[in-house]
Structure 1
Amino acid sequence: MSSPLASLALSLLPTLLVVLTCCWLTRRPEAQCRPWRRRLAILLITSLAGRYLVWRVLFGLNQQSPMALGLSWLLLACEGWLIFTGLLQIGLSFSGRRDHTAAAKAGEALLQQCPSPPTVDVLIPCCGEPLALLERTIIACCRLDYPAKTVWLLDDGPEYEGTDPQDDGSPRQRRALARSLGALYPRRQGRQHAKDGNLNAVLPHCRGELMAVFDADVVPQPHFLRRTVGLFLRETRLGFVQTPQSYMTPDPLMRNLAMEDWLLPDEESFYRWIEPVRDSVGAVVCAGTSFLMRRRALDQVGGFSTDSLSEDLATGIRLIALGWQGLFLPEKLSAGLAAPGVADFAQQRLRWCRGTLQTLRSPRGPLRIAGLSWLQRLAFLEGALHWFNAIPRLVLLVLPLSTGLLGILPINLNGASFLMVFLPYWLSLLMLVSWLNGESRSALLPELYSWLLTPVLAWAVVQTLLIPRWRPGFRVTSKTLHRARSRLAWGLVLPLLALFVLNGWNLLGLLSVLPPSPAMATMLAQQQAEGNRLVGLLWSGLNLLGLLTALRACLDPPRPQSLPTFRVRWPARLSTDNGGTVHRVHVCRVNEQVVVVEPRDALAPG
């Protein structure tokens, strides 16, 4: 009896040591720790990943037949790629992150002493957004607490005459709206190059030294310019300042899974971890909205790039390559609307994917443009490489079928190997990744997004790489919040459903609920049948769980509100018109037109 227990204890020893080390490293938030703790955590993850890959090469390949060996190498290649891209993202944070909050405060003080502050053009590109949404953004931009500004509404919307005030209206209505609120209204001829063409068309008419850009749904806070303009006074080679994108409405994936109250959306990880890390190596990403740019720098690169769907990313790279500095200010100074539905969310991500890969292939992309350091190239390359993860992830969803169709398990894994090699690495990711990124993202959050988007993203990557001349039209993300009934994103559901059925068939065959295929029956009759069955069950089961979660996320519920509505918990007092009876209440929901309250105490009858 002692021998199995001793063997189990020995197998669990690496896991125990890793857990204790992780607990010791993460006693305090990463931002409050000395740099050596962060670097030790990165080295621990890297060493455990390397240990796992060495084990996979030496002992984890199924060598029973050439077919089994080929599938084993395919699985190992997919694992290796995902581990490499994950380590690359983590490794870029080895030198730490910068926080320019103090510099912004000093710049604001410098701006107050400036007798003639820099002039700023505030640009609002629009393309068919509802008039009520445009009105909200124009009002916010015109009320920016900064005297030397000019607000422009850049209309690329449809030309037909609208009648519904909640619709996009007509050019005449949009012009009247802009002028009534104090904004200028230019309208170009044609819609070539979409958003970047719209921005470039107004540049000859702008005279500001600086230029702020806000998407049509993004509402800046009044002090946006006061917090950012001063940075340009401090740094003469500052090309642009990027601030975080935040949203007034919940992420559709989180909302559909009822996780919006306890799980942060995807953009939080980018702006709380990835963008500050890139700032530390001089590779800030221009995100297309909520940024301020020096006009002289933009003129030097010939205006906004028209080479890809991601004009913001490409323009920022060219500025940095010419010696201009990009700076990320980690203050939420504006808020927009998240994609209203999962289909719109997927469309947005597909556009980002294609635009990033187009930029990567461009002669003036991060790989070939002159003027970037190797670390800057690596940081920009990491931003492109993670889109390729969709292909190995799709392979991982399909490869369990080799068990059912071919009777081959493409990995040689037993209980001792799992406990000694895989489990320590997996636990280190769970315990350290969220600590490294300031609790903005767990190791599991990317899985939620990948399960949903993997099939369509993999197809987009293949299209963009194999057909470089193929340029899909620029589709503006819908901003219409109202939805009368539930909606299913069929473009996402169909490939997910096919993968779900195949993995389900494989799982039922392993459980002997369905008659196994001849190849599977042969595998189950072998000496290591139970071990192979267990690994196959776990693999197919995890895939089914992820695919089921993704399918559930594809159903958008009805949305009766047409305005952003916030759930709050504010104590308040409610009285009658004559100031008589006063009730203690809680404000529980609020938007621009409606306030919903509930009593804190039981109300008297009547």
Structure 2
Amino acid sequence: MLSLRGANYIVGALGLCALIAATTVTLSNYEQLSVAVVCVLVFFIVGRRKSRRTQIFLEVLSALVSLRYLTWRLTETLDFDTWIQGGLGVILLTAELYALYMLFLSYFQTIQPLHRAPLPLPDNVDDWPTVDIFIPTYDEQLSIVRLTVLGALGIDWPPDKVNVYILDDGVRPEFEQFAEECGALYIGRVDSAHAKAGNLNHAIKQTFADYILILDCDHIPTRAFLQIAMGWMVADRKIALMQTPHHFYSPDPFQRNLAVGYRTPPEGNLFYGVIQDGNDFWDATFFCGSCAILRREAIESIGGFAVETVTEDAHTALRMQRRGWSTAYLRIPVASGLATERLTTHIGQRMRWARGMIQIFRVDNPMLGRGLKLGQRLCYLSAMTSFFFAIPRVIFLASPLAFLFAGQNIIAASPLAVAAYAIPHMFHSIATAAKGNKGWRYSFWSEVYETTMALFLVRVTIITMLFPSKGKFNVTEKGACWSRKSLILARPTPTSSLPPSWGVAC
């Protein structure tokens, strides 16, 4: 008898063949326009139902419409009169190919969000594991670190099975004194080699617990953190990492400066609300640097945290999974921290993420080497290549200028053909993503976020691709004070220079 998995493969293969066949059917512009109208009507009719199967159907429909658009672009719109038109047209087409590639990868990545629920710990507390809580700090203020340390000391776990460590890369006497006063342990380091990864590796050699909970120094944990997140790791000894969301109680620069404020979801919500949950289905959850529990055995099996790139977190998870370890994601916020206050700081953080992920793409490409399943490879590939978005975004913004100022027509198509192919493609890709991301990201604000970031990330993207060893780790500044009257954009006025009458608020 044919197994269920075999039947699914056959159905999937037949569906793929049907999709390819539907993509390559030749239609006139009027016929294609009729098909486009029907597809839009189907979207609205089917989309009224809320289920995972409905979302998958809409993604397949979107893929069909987009593939027909791609076929049209490749076969009918590349007729150029001059080499300048040809060059500009190919550049635009390359950007569109990237956008389609990321669209299809995102559909694959989030095809079945796992929505993992907590597992209970053993009834006997004596069977609970030992935990070291690491709170790395470099140049942050003690007022910020203090709250996280006190929160960690208050975590509900047997006192003889947990230790809280301040990992001070600045060797500051006031931090050591605070650790003594509050009951935490202190590990200082003088050289600061390899930044955060080096700090963590230094601490691992001096501690011994079964598990390590890592908290950025501004992430204050709830009392139930370990009891909520530890169950899966105790139940499944193959799990090396349990990642939880990064939740922020302060507004990010977009929420702070735009009129919509808190009515707009934070920029990171899409990643922690949708993408990581989708990664979990493919066993491709990666470490995000904080709010995560790691198995010491797994970290030691790869020689410690990765130091080859500036995003040691994602690279460490990749190396663990190459060694056969699993990772997991629990979409329950169990800690809360400070968002970046200034747009310049926000951009600097994203530049580091972009540099680090592209470095991993260059030095430890997930599509190469052993140890990963296909789903894991594609999820990591999506995470890394998503940071190339800045270059296509700038191309899309600049392309109309070729016609407006230079008279260069870089798409050889009639308005009817554009209406029949391009507009349906854009409608389905945006509307389908909006349904899948509902509550986590608004489509309009995605454009705002990416456009703002793109202008700053283009340079670092190109340089890192060409010279992956360039650049160094930078610490994200947190806990600044801002005036109620100041407009915080790319170059905010330092609070120290504001008139006393402005009333600075922390």
TM-score, normalising length: structure 1: 0.73
Q: In structure 2, what is the Cα distance between the partners aligned to 1:254 and 1:15?
A: 37
**Aligned residue for 1:25?**
46
1:464-502 deviation per Cα after TM superposition (whole angstroms, max 9, x unaligned): 1112332x23221111231244454159xxxxxxxxxxx
Equivalent residue, structure 1, for 2:164: 151
Matched residue SS, 1:205: coil
| SS of equivalent to 2:126 | coil
Pair 319,207 (structure 1): closer, same or farther in 2 beyond 3 Å: same
Greater alpha carbon shift after TM alignment, 455-464 vs 414-423: 414-423
Q: Quickly say closer, same or farther: Cα 1:39–1:375, change in 2 above 3 A.
A: same
Question: Equivalents in 1 of 2:40, 2:348: separation in Å?
Answer: 40
Instruction: Determine if the alignment matches structure 1 residue 352 to structure 2 residue 353.
Output: yes
2:113 is equivalent to residue 97 of structure 1: yes
Quote the Cα distance in structure 2 between the aligned partners of 1:156 and 1:276: 33
Equivalent in the alignment of 1:377: 377
Query: C-alpha separation between the residues in 2 aligned to 1:49 and 1:483?
Result: 45
CA distance in 1, matches of 2:328, 2:347: 29
Q: Which has the higher contact order (CA 8 A, sep 6+)?
A: 2
Q: Once the 2 structures are TM-superposed, how far is the Cα of residue 15 of structure 1 from its aligned partner?
A: 4.4
Q: Is the 8 A contact 2:200 2:305 kept in 1?
A: yes
Q: Does 1:256 align with 2:257?
A: yes
Q: Distance in 1 between matches of 2:273 and 2:280?
A: 11
Residues 120, 208 of structure 1: 8 Å contact kept: yes
Q: Where do residues 53-452 of structure 1 align in structure 2 (5 Å cutoff)? A: 53-94=70-111, 96-101=112-117, 104=118, 107-108=119-120, 110-147=121-158, 148-157=161-170, 171-363=172-364, 365-452=365-452
Instruction: Supply the distance in 2 between the matched residues of 1:188 and 1:80 (Cα, whole angstroms).
Output: 47
Letter in 2 for 1:249: S
For 1:487 and 1:251, locate their aligned partners in 2 and report how far apart those are by CA, in whole Å. 11
| Aligned 8 A contact 1:137 1:219 in 2 | yes
Task: State the shift of 1:229 in Å.
Answer: 1.7
| Residues 307-350 of structure 1 deviation map (CA, whole Å, 9 limit, x = unaligned) | 10010101101111111110001111111111011000000000
Contact kept? 2:265, 2:442, Cα under 8 Å: no
Query: CA separation in 2, counterparts of 1:480 and 1:263?
Result: 22
Which secondary structure state, in structure 1, belongs to the residue aligned with residue 262 of structure 2? coil
Match for residue 67 of structure 2 among 50, 61, 69: 50
Change in 2 beyond 3 A, CA 1:374/1:57: same
Query: 2:499 matched to which residue of 1?
Result: none
Q: CA deviation at 1:559?
A: 9.0
C-alpha deviation, 1:194, in angstroms: 0.5
Partner SS, residue 261 of structure 1: helix
Residue 561 of structure 1, CA deviation: 3.0
Q: Is residue 47–residue 58 contact of structure 2 (8 Å, CA) maintained in 1?
A: no
- The one-letter code sitting in structure 1 at the alignment partner of 2:150 is I
Q: Secondary structure at the match of 1:135?
A: helix
Deviations 1:368-388 (A, max 9, x none): 342111221111011111111
Q: 1: CA distance between counterparts of 2:125 and 2:174?
A: 39
Report the residue type matching 1:282 in the other structure.
D
* Contact 1:100 1:330 (C-alpha < 8 Å) held by counterparts: yes
Whole-Å separation in 2 of the counterparts to 1:274 and 1:322: 23
Distance in 1 (CA, whole Å) between partners of 2:347 and 2:149 is: 28
3-state secondary structure, aligned to 2:205: helix
Is the Cα–Cα contact under 8 Å of residues 11 and 419 in structure 1 kept in the other structure?
no
Cα deviation, 1:126-151, whole Å, max 9, x if unaligned, reads 11112211111111000001112100
Q: Distance in 2 between matches of 1:559 and 1:185?
A: 37
Task: Write the deviation string for residues 393-443 of structure 1: whole angstroms up to 9, x where unpaired.
Answer: 222222333224532121134332232212222221232112223432233
1:561 equivalent to 2:491? Answer no
Q: Which amino acid aligns with 1:66?
A: W
Work out the CA distance in 2 between the residues paired with 1:488 and 1:236.
47
Residues 111 and 229, structure 1, Cα contact 8 Å, conserved in 2:
no
Percent identity, aligned pairs only?
27
Secondary structure of the structure 2 residue equivalent to 1:192: coil
User: SS where residue 132 of structure 2 aligns?
Assistant: strand
Cα 1:413/1:89, change in 2 over 3 Å = same
Residue 214 of structure 1 deviates from its aligned partner by 0.3
- How many Å apart are 1:44 and its aligned residue? 0.7
Q: Which moved more, 1:261-270 or 1:272-281?
A: 261-270
Q: What is the alpha-carbon distance in structure 1 between the residues aligned to residue 378 and residue 33 of structure 2?
A: 37
Structure 1 match to 2:482: 483
Deviates more, 1:458-467 or 1:472-481: 472-481
Q: Is the 8 A contact 1:92 1:278 kept in 2?
A: yes
Q: Give me the whole-angstrom Cα distance separating, in 2, the residues matched to 1:70 and 1:9.
A: 30
Q: How does 1:508-587 map to 2 (within 5 A)?
A: 560-562=504-506
How many positions carry a matched residue from both structures?
466
Q: Which segments of 5 or more consecutive residues in structure 1 lack a partner in the other structure?
A: 1-6, 160-170, 492-557, 563-606
What amino acid does structure 1 have at the position aligned with 2:480?
L
Tell me: CA distance 1:559–1:45, structure 2 relative to 1, closer, same or farther (3 Å): farther
Does the CA-based 8 Å contact 2:276-2:285 persist in structure 1?
A: yes
Against the structure 1 CA distance between its residues 431 and 403, is the aligned structure 2 distance closer, same or farther, given a 3 Å change threshold? Answer: closer
One-letter code of the match for 2:250?
T
From the superposition, tell whether residues 462 and 430 of structure 1 become closer, same or farther in structure 2 (CA, over 3 Å).
Answer: closer
Letter in 2 for 1:118: P
**1:131 maps to amino acid:** L
**Could you list the runs of 5+ residues in structure 2 that have no partner in the other structure?**
1-27, 493-501
With over 3 angstroms needed to count, the CA separation of the structure-2 counterparts of 1:115 and 1:304, relative to structure 1, is: same
1:227, CA displacement in angstroms?
0.8
